[in-house]
A and B are shown apart, each in its own frame.
Chain A
Amino acid sequence: MSDRPDSVLKDSSKGNVVDTATVELKIPSHAEFIGVARMMIMGVASRISFSYDEVEDLRLAVGEACTSAIDRAARAGRTDSHITIVCHMNPQRLSITVSDPLPYDPNEPARPAEGADSLEEQGIGALLMEILVDEIEIKSSPEHGAVVTMVKNIGR
Chain B
Amino acid sequence: MDFSLNSRHLDNDTVVVDLQGEVDAFTAPKLKQEIINQIERGVKRIAINLADVKYLDSTGLGVLIGGLKRAREKSGQLVLICPNVRIMRIFDITGLAKIFEMFPSEEEALARLRSTDDV
- Residues of A participating in the B interface, judged by any CB pair closer than 8 Å: 31-32, 34-35, 38, 53, 56, 59-60, 63-64, 67, 70-71, 119, 121-122, 124-125, 127-128, 131-132
Whether A35 and B62, one on each chain, are in contact in the complex, defined by CB atoms closer than 8 angstroms, is no
Please indicate the chain A residues that have their CB under 8 angstroms from the CB of B86 in the complex.
53, 56
Please indicate the chain B residues that have their CB under 8 angstroms from the CB of A38 in the complex.
55
Whether A34 and B26, one on each chain, are in contact in the complex, defined by CB atoms closer than 8 angstroms, is yes
Given contacts A119-B95, A121-B62, A121-B66, contact A60 B22 (CB under 8 A): no
Whether B55 and A60, one on each chain, are in contact in the complex, defined by CB atoms closer than 8 angstroms, is yes
Q: Which of A35, A67, A127 contacts B59 (CB 8 A)?
A: A67
A67 to B60, CA, bound (A): 11
Q: Given contacts A124-B61, A124-B96, A131-B93, could you give 18 more A-B pairs where the C-beta distance is less than 8 Å?
A: A31-B24, A32-B26, A35-B1, A38-B55, A56-B86, A63-B55, A63-B57, A64-B57, A67-B24, A67-B25, A67-B59, A71-B25, A121-B58, A121-B61, A121-B65, A125-B57, A125-B58, A132-B93
Given contacts A32-B1, A60-B55, contact A128 B93 (CB under 8 A): yes
Given contacts A53-B86, A124-B94, contact A34 B24 (CB under 8 A): yes
Given contacts A56-B86, A64-B58, A121-B62, contact A35 B26 (CB under 8 A): yes
Whether B24 and A35, one on each chain, are in contact in the complex, defined by CB atoms closer than 8 angstroms, is yes
Question: Closest 4 CB pairs between A and B?
Answer: A125-B58, A31-B26, A124-B58, A31-B25
Chain B binding surface SS class:
helix
Chain A binding surface SS class:
helix
Could you say which of A59, A70, A121 has the most chain B C-beta atoms within 10 Å of its C-beta?
A121
- Residues of B participating in the A interface, judged by any CB pair closer than 8 Å: 1, 22, 24-26, 55, 57-59, 61-62, 65-66, 86, 90, 93-96
Q: Which of A31, A56, A124 contacts B62 (CB 8 A)?
A: A124
10 contacts between A and B (CB under 8 A): A31-B24, A35-B1, A35-B22, A56-B86, A64-B57, A64-B58, A71-B25, A124-B61, A127-B94, A131-B93
Could you say which of B22, B25, B65 has the most chain A C-beta atoms within 10 Å of its C-beta?
B25
Please indicate the chain B residues that have their CB under 8 angstroms from the CB of A63 in the complex.
24, 55, 57
Please indicate the chain A residues that have their CB under 8 angstroms from the CB of B55 in the complex.
38, 59-60, 63
